[in-house]
Structure 1
Amino acid sequence: MHSFVRGGLLAATSLSFFALTTPSQAADGADAAAAAAAAATAADSAAAVAPADAQIDDGDPSRGEVIIVTARRRQETAQAVPLAISVIKADSIESTGNFNVVKLQQVAPTLQVYSSNPRNTSVNIRGLGVPFGLTSDGFEQGVGIYVDDVYNSRVAAATFDFLDVQQVEVLRGPQGTLYGKNTTAGAISITTNQPTFDFEGRAELTLGNLNLKQAKAAVSGPISDTLAARVAIASTSRRGTIYNVATRRWINEQDNIGVRGQLLFQPNDDLSITVSGDFSKQDPYGFGTSFVRVGRTQRALSRQYDALVAAVNAANPGRNYAVPSRNVYDRLTDIDAPLQAGNEIGGASLRVKWKLGAGTLTAISAWRYWDWKPQNDRDFSGLSVVSASNNPSQQNQYSQEFRYNYEGDKVNFVVGLFGFRQRIDTQGLERQGSDASRWSLTGAQAADASILSGLTANNTQWLKSSSAALYGQLSYKLTDKLTIQPGLRINYDKKEGYYSRVVTTGAGVVISCTPAPASGSVLAAQCGVYQPQTTSPAASKWNLSYDLNLNYKVARDVLVYATYAKSFKTLGINQNGLPLTTANVPDLTASTVKPESVNHFEIGLKAQFWDRRATFNLSAFLTEIKDFQATVNGGQFGTVRGYLANAEKVRSQGIEADFKIRPSDRLTAYVNGAYTDAKYARFTNAPCPPELSGGTFYAAGVTSDLSQAGVAGALSPRSCDISGQTLPGVSKWSFAYGAEVNVPARLLDKDGQVYFGVDGNYRSAWNSNASPSIYTRVDGYALTNFRVGFRGDGVDVFGWVRNAFDVNYIDLLQVAPGNTGLIAGTAGDQRTWGGTIKFSF
């Protein structure tokens, strides 16, 4: 704790100094004060851009802009909300090219998003949220994603392009009282533009290198005096960033389309009924990886990557296999399995808002679906080790929420009921290829391709999940300056799952591994790769979340607050196959995982000065989670997708600072920074990293020699104590910055502004494996973007360059199965450039 205090003070001093002395270095910005400027840009991503007064109508233009948020399920100014919140306005999203959730981390430093494809996307805040690694249906996310108050239960179901978005609110820290059971790290609330009774419209076209084409359009207006409609459509396509020499085409492309329609019925000022429907489809050719490196494991040297490639080549004269490049930044691959990433998302909702006395009753009924159609290459190479790895899924979810918001002079409160039902069906297939025997077997069996070639695991699984909750939050003014805010949520969850794996040989013969086959037999070799399994886990759990916030208005535009929150993430079910015991049979004790239990402490300052031309927010937090749900992978082909396990405790603590300044209508600048220390406080039975894996296990009860990391042929620990090591995906230091300057100009008979903007972000090094490895360390990097353009009444035209200095950086590293030492990954986008034109009326 003392080291944290010292580190926290250092972080606070550094962030404050950086924020207060270098706004001219920051980027992106223009939150225009005047409507004609329409210059709201990524500057709004600073966690504070609104006055601290609770009254929404306190919008004196001489004292800065007012940003309205709904973080506490009611409309209020951002600076009045006593929690850490980043508000990213629509123009910020568009001008910085952050057109989906995956890109938001470029403007919100404590948000981490990592994706190997839409389904396998991790969205974390402060290092917490989704278990890092390949996704299992049986766990819940820890960052709740909401679109117009509708909960999206799967991260994959929220990877659509932003469509006619008004703003995005990133709420940092547990939000269990108002946002539900699975918001232990925070929530992302996306608000779309609503139908209007004034006719309006907008259109946008972007063209760029890599054959980028993006078009957006929206139109809104009245149908009658009481009925209004809004329709929006968007399309994005872009050539891939990795060239596959095996298929002679680019992969990891973008091919997205989306449409949203809304009807608003408003017979009077007290009642509004909104019906919404949306559909989006992503059908890119991808996703794949490139060779990054080989890291020495404890497997016998003859069974590690380079020796295995040599053995395959020796057994196939004239083949001479080699990866097309050992430099990931050459952006080449030779993966030979078919690739597909079809992702279809849609749904409908009905929202009724009815003013009752001093409050408002809101009812939200929603249905959403998700259809995932993938094809992957899970050996990450041009060799046919795993010839197919496909896990298509279909999800349907239904949710119903009722809540009542009361607003008074001294008392505000929210009470609500929430119900949720979900079903996910998955039909998995994984098949071994013609090189699998050489890769996975030894002796004479390694030379017999027929043993494993065509060996197929067909997986059938489903998950039923039900949830119900009663919640409430009270805000009571003890004095004009001091407010107390307690909250409570009672939640019930029930999960039922089914998993069945049927294994067939290349000849189509179903195999059984019970009783255990004779050692050294063909059947034993096959069972060592895929074992038939059938499990039907079921569990239910009551949980209680609560929080207490005290906030004090030191001055008109200065608010300090302190929060304690007790939250949880519901129990999980392993749905992708269980790990094997020392007897080489599925470990049924791993069928379910315990709920996470969260204790969270936070203090913060939200301040504006210089007539609200400057905003400075500071927060310090400490979050401890018992029974943290981690995705782990023991390197076996049979559990190639990983499985869930509980780490005894993790801890995330840090300091966040946000600073924004707008001295005049001609200049806006901001800088946001975060110091995050996120670690496994205690994880004594974790899978070992690749450098301590692959060898014969130590005998049970024998103390392992951890000094033999990367020594071929050394004995391997059965598990590793990784207590004190950093959580995956977390950078200790992260910054986002931006600035925009403009001058009056006239173009094509239009009065307006010529503007120049710069924005960027920096992240320090992080690790890309659940058990941190020396082979999966990702170096820190800084990205810088520029834009220059003209905006006037109803038009905005600008050119842009992203990653202007063509920095090489890694998006994600992955450890190939089998403990061969192969590390594959994806390089981040190279320099891109293009132009955008926007019209509005």
Structure 2
Amino acid sequence: MRHLLCAASLIALTSSAYAQEGAVRPGHAAVSTAGDVDAGQIGLPEITVTARRRVEDAQRIPGSLSVVGGELLDRSYTVNTQQLSQLVPSLNYSSANPRNTAFTIRGLGSSVVAVSQANDGLEPGVGFYVDQVYHARPATAAFDFSDIGQVEVLRGPQGTLFGKNSTAGAINMTTRAPTFTPEATEEITVGSFNFVQAKAAASGPITDTLAFRISGVATRRDGVIDNVRTGRDQNQIGNQAVRGQLLFKPSEMFQVKLSADFTNFQSNCCTQVYYRVATRDVPRTATRQFAGPTGLAAQFNYTPPSTNPYDRVTDIDASLGVDTNEGGVAAIADWTLGGATLTSVSAWRFWNWDAANDRDYTGIPIQIEQHIPSRQDQYSQELRLASNGDHALSYVGGLYFFRQRVEGRPISIYGPAAARYLIGTTTGANATPVPANLLDGYGTDGRTDFQSNSYAAFGEVNWRPVDRLTLTGGLRYTYEHKTGTYDTFVFGGPATTSPALVTARLGILRGQTYAAKVNDGALTGRANIAWQATDTVLGYASYARGEKSGGINMSGLPLNDQNLPALGTAVVRPEKNTAYEVGLKTRLFDNRLTFNVDAFYTRVTDFQTNVSDTRAAAALRTYLANIPRVTSKGVEADAVAAVTRDFSLRASVAYADGKYDRYPTGPCPIELIGNTAASCNLSGTGLPGLPKWSATVGGDYVLPVETLGGSLIAHADANYRSKQFGDPTGSRFTTIGSYTVVNGSVGYRNSKGWELAVFARNLFDRDYIQNVTIQAGNSGLILATPSDPRTIGLTFRAHQ
């Protein structure tokens, strides 16, 4: 909190905070700021959004949402979704690597897990949309932004408005659209760690009815973690993206936009570093612990390169690297039919993933190869009819079809130290000696295939029975059919006929084959009452029900010695979400201040999440399961003030109390592994990845300097997050401490359209932990991804 107060003072002194971001108009994504207001006028420009699938003033939408415009993304050097969470307190982001990306809103959504690979059979609870197209895999949101016009973060169930059901919320991203007026932008940035980023976009007419837009971004940065074994820097950044669009608009009544995009990420990434070692609260053989005079590290005469995670060093000895890409094509057509607009959204997208990892994160040759080459394809078609104008009765209705297929090949191979590290020197009741090479070369290979078809009809009606009172009702029916097959086999390792050794080896890896299917239908909906008390004050209350269909375990199941499912099944039950919210939206002081506040309570039954088998003999295999009941409640508030025509301030705060309301048979925290119980009562434990308090302050200041023919500009923002659990068990050893991150920039903007600025991200070089991982094998070793060090750079932008 001290850093947040310091940052607030800095922002006040430099007159910097967020400018209110601008408006999305039909067929165009434009952004205005407080500095764009006409001379002599002091006030905040109207924000228009498409959260309810028609263009509306954000302050008249009876629901909680945050809006970040493209200019703010540029000024704050927010280049990806992880950094977006620093501007939106209720949005939480975790990513040990792109495949393991997870979003949560108010603590709900995709599970944040300390030991897992992403499970392809788990649908995200936070929907991610780009230009109205749903992206099914959260990993596709880990790439850098390219030519973004506006981002809307909607909180709570969104099933009555969006094609795909989103139970926790949605991130609705809009790219800048083609224009019939020629324009071009160029940007080049250089900074610390050899950071280089280039952006460019061009738009203009081809004919009187056809316009184009093309944009691209390329980013390079050296790694911030040093591998003292190989001499290489790890966790580099290396990605590029390109997007092309064509807008055909023969009349004001009809338009169609075609788009194609491709994004690629290739780098020596992603690893973690030593964080701490968990000690157990129950008796356990001392030599199974990582640390200590007779612990695992001592047995291998191994010393971590550092026990301070902020030294940012590692000594991993296995291959490391990420090679992933995604892209697709889309066609969006809009027909104005009198008082309504008919919209068709057709899209095909793909995602390819491959990465090499050292999953033991040490210089000990325990696991020498681990990766899951994957391919995802998705097809979607949405037809939507939305009323136009402001009338006593307005509506949105639509039909939606979505199909995806994800094929994977889970590969894992152990090395010469694995047997002693994961099993020990003896095994079984008779203390059978374990050969040192029992797991050397022992591995698994196979195929996974997950497919899903989703069909939905949705609609929402707004009725204004009397002036200033609006009643809203929405319904959605979803039917989903899913199938999944998991087929793996083991290979390698020395031959053995000893039953004890066979059992011990199968306790680390064994082949599994199973198939499952899900057929679910659900009717969900929401109701809302809104009262426009005055032209500038809106109050509302809402109730919503959402549901996520059953999921299929696509990462394997924990098995007992009889090779039968023990702690999980292949199919998990549907997740049901009930949400209540009340809120107030205001414009005050002649539109110089907006202040919004809301309170929410959400109850989820059969919450779908990844959990870990923490029995003493297990190797921490993760799988999908249902948690009986989860609740999240809290209060959120945000304010934007136009102090002068050129100076605006913005602040947001979120308090969230999320916990397992009822979870009597959960996995045990690592400090309790080895107890006689196979499960622990986690009822009352806080949700992982959810700080109770998070806040953002910041803003912008523009100082015209006539003698220079331009303006001096300043921006700063600060984000505070209180401590949070790093894994689903609430282990005290995975707790992530509170932190504050401050970013800022100062520059000169010429009236001819160019700008030169110096920027800093993590200005005060704050050390903090982004996410944690428990090392597989129950050794007690905890790994973490440390924060990026301070980055200072120089940016040149030009606009024609």
Counterpart Cα distance in 2 of 1:716 and 1:341: 40
1:64 offset after TM fit, Å? 2.7
Counterpart Cα distance in 1 of 2:13 and 2:532: 30
Contact kept in structure 2, 1:577 and 1:638, CA below 8 Å: no
Counterpart Cα distance in 1 of 2:91 and 2:130: 18
1:145 offset after TM fit, Å? 0.4
Q: TM-score, normalised by structure 1?
A: 0.88
Relative to structure 1, the CA distance from residue 436 to residue 412 in structure 2 (aligned partners, 3 Å threshold; closer, same or farther) is: same
Counterpart Cα distance in 2 of 1:720 and 1:253: 39
2:400 is the counterpart of 1:414: no
2:146 is the counterpart of 1:163: yes
Matches within 5 A, 1:2-151: 27-31=16-20, 63-133=43-113, 134=116, 135-151=118-134
Counterpart Cα distance in 1 of 2:293 and 2:560: 27
Q: Deviations over 1:674-693 (max 9, x none)?
A: 10000000111111010011
Counterpart Cα distance in 2 of 1:487 and 1:817: 45
1:493 offset after TM fit, Å? 0.6
Counterpart Cα distance in 1 of 2:298 and 2:631: 48
Which 10-residue stretch deviates more, 585-594 or 530-539? 585-594
Tell me what 1:272 maps to: 255
Contact kept in structure 2, 1:344 and 1:370, CA below 8 Å: yes
Q: Aligned with 2:504: secondary structure?
A: helix
Contact kept in structure 2, 1:26 and 1:670, CA below 8 Å: no
Tell me what 1:743 maps to: 703
Tell me what 2:483 maps to: 496
Relative to structure 1, the CA distance from residue 251 to residue 601 in structure 2 (aligned partners, 3 Å threshold; closer, same or farther) is: same
Q: Aligned with 2:214: secondary structure?
A: strand
1:313 offset after TM fit, Å? 6.1
2:486 is the counterpart of 1:526: no
1:321 offset after TM fit, Å? 2.3
Which residue among 439, 447, 451 is the counterpart of 1:460?
447
Counterpart Cα distance in 1 of 2:293 and 2:625: 31
Which 10-residue stretch deviates more, 791-800 or 537-546? 791-800
Contact kept in structure 1, 2:22 and 2:46, CA below 8 Å: no
Contact kept in structure 2, 1:143 and 1:182, CA below 8 Å: no
Q: Aligned with 2:383: secondary structure?
A: strand
Tell me what 1:341 maps to: 322
- 1:676 counterpart letter in structure 2: A
Q: Deviations over 1:496-517 (max 9, x none)?
A: 000011011236x7x9xxxxx8
Counterpart Cα distance in 2 of 1:632 and 1:310: 27
Counterpart Cα distance in 2 of 1:146 and 1:23: 35
Counterpart Cα distance in 1 of 2:645 and 2:714: 13
Tell me what 1:724 maps to: 684
2:743 is the counterpart of 1:761: no
Tell me what 1:246 maps to: 229
Counterpart Cα distance in 2 of 1:823 and 1:589: 25
Matches within 5 A, 1:296-445: 296-297=279-280, 298=282, 299-306=284-291, 320-407=301-388, 409-444=391-426
Relative to structure 1, the CA distance from residue 284 to residue 246 in structure 2 (aligned partners, 3 Å threshold; closer, same or farther) is: same
Tell me what 2:592 maps to: 613
1:23 offset after TM fit, Å? 7.3
Q: Aligned with 1:536: secondary structure?
A: strand
Tell me what 2:659 maps to: 679
Contact kept in structure 2, 1:456 and 1:503, CA below 8 Å: yes
Which 10-residue stretch deviates more, 60-69 or 474-483? 60-69
2:615 is the counterpart of 1:643: no
Contact kept in structure 2, 1:533 and 1:586, CA below 8 Å: no
Tell me what 1:575 maps to: 554
Q: Aligned with 2:643: secondary structure?
A: strand
Relative to structure 1, the CA distance from residue 721 to residue 33 in structure 2 (aligned partners, 3 Å threshold; closer, same or farther) is: closer
Q: Deviations over 1:165-194 (max 9, x none)?
A: 101000011111112554111000000011
Counterpart Cα distance in 2 of 1:804 and 1:40: 27
Relative to structure 1, the CA distance from residue 572 to residue 308 in structure 2 (aligned partners, 3 Å threshold; closer, same or farther) is: farther
1:25 offset after TM fit, Å? 9.3
Counterpart Cα distance in 2 of 1:780 and 1:313: 33
Would you identify which runs of 4 or more consecutive aligned residues in structure 1 move more than 6 Å?
22-26, 636-639
Counterpart Cα distance in 1 of 2:642 and 2:547: 40
Which 10-residue stretch deviates more, 584-593 or 605-614? 584-593
2:527 is the counterpart of 1:540: no
1:725 offset after TM fit, Å? 0.8
Tell me what 2:26 maps to: none
Q: Aligned with 1:93: secondary structure?
A: helix
Q: Deviations over 1:62-117 (max 9, x none)?
A: 55301110000000111111111111011111221211112111000010000000
Counterpart Cα distance in 2 of 1:33 and 1:363: 26
Gaps of at least 5 residues in structure 1 are 1-14, 51-58, 512-516, 696-714
Q: Aligned with 1:305: secondary structure?
A: coil
Identity %: 39
Relative to structure 1, the CA distance from residue 642 to residue 226 in structure 2 (aligned partners, 3 Å threshold; closer, same or farther) is: same
Which residue among 827, 832, 835 is the counterpart of 2:786?
827
1:744 offset after TM fit, Å? 1.4
Relative to structure 1, the CA distance from residue 295 to residue 446 in structure 2 (aligned partners, 3 Å threshold; closer, same or farther) is: farther
- 2:291 counterpart letter in structure 1: D
1:670 offset after TM fit, Å? 0.9
1:739 offset after TM fit, Å? 2.6
Q: How many residues align?
A: 774
Relative to structure 1, the CA distance from residue 301 to residue 638 in structure 2 (aligned partners, 3 Å threshold; closer, same or farther) is: closer
Matches within 5 A, 1:181-200: 182-200=165-183
Which residue among 195, 209, 212 is the counterpart of 2:192?
209
Counterpart Cα distance in 2 of 1:60 and 1:644: 59
Relative to structure 1, the CA distance from residue 480 to residue 604 in structure 2 (aligned partners, 3 Å threshold; closer, same or farther) is: same
2:641 is the counterpart of 1:655: no
2:631 is the counterpart of 1:631: no
Relative to structure 1, the CA distance from residue 221 to residue 309 in structure 2 (aligned partners, 3 Å threshold; closer, same or farther) is: farther
Counterpart Cα distance in 2 of 1:127 and 1:589: 24
Contact kept in structure 2, 1:181 and 1:570, CA below 8 Å: no
Q: Aligned with 1:94: secondary structure?
A: helix
Q: Deviations over 1:297-324 (max 9, x none)?
A: 3541111112598667657xxxx42111
- 1:211 counterpart letter in structure 2: N
- 1:622 counterpart letter in structure 2: Y
1:360 offset after TM fit, Å? 0.5
Q: Deviations over 1:626-684 (max 9, x none)?
A: 00012111247976551111000000000000011112122111110010000000111
Counterpart Cα distance in 1 of 2:112 and 2:174: 27
Q: Aligned with 2:267: secondary structure?
A: coil
Contact kept in structure 2, 1:23 and 1:660, CA below 8 Å: no
- 2:157 counterpart letter in structure 1: P
1:590 offset after TM fit, Å? 1.2
- 2:552 counterpart letter in structure 1: I
Contact kept in structure 2, 1:440 and 1:446, CA below 8 Å: no
Which 10-residue stretch deviates more, 76-85 or 583-592? 583-592
Counterpart Cα distance in 2 of 1:362 and 1:32: 26
Give RMSD over aligned pairs: 2.6
1:518 offset after TM fit, Å? 6.1
Counterpart Cα distance in 2 of 1:60 and 1:590: 66
1:591 offset after TM fit, Å? 0.6
1:389 offset after TM fit, Å? 1.1
Contact kept in structure 1, 2:618 and 2:777, CA below 8 Å: no
Counterpart Cα distance in 1 of 2:528 and 2:127: 21
Counterpart Cα distance in 2 of 1:32 and 1:150: 23
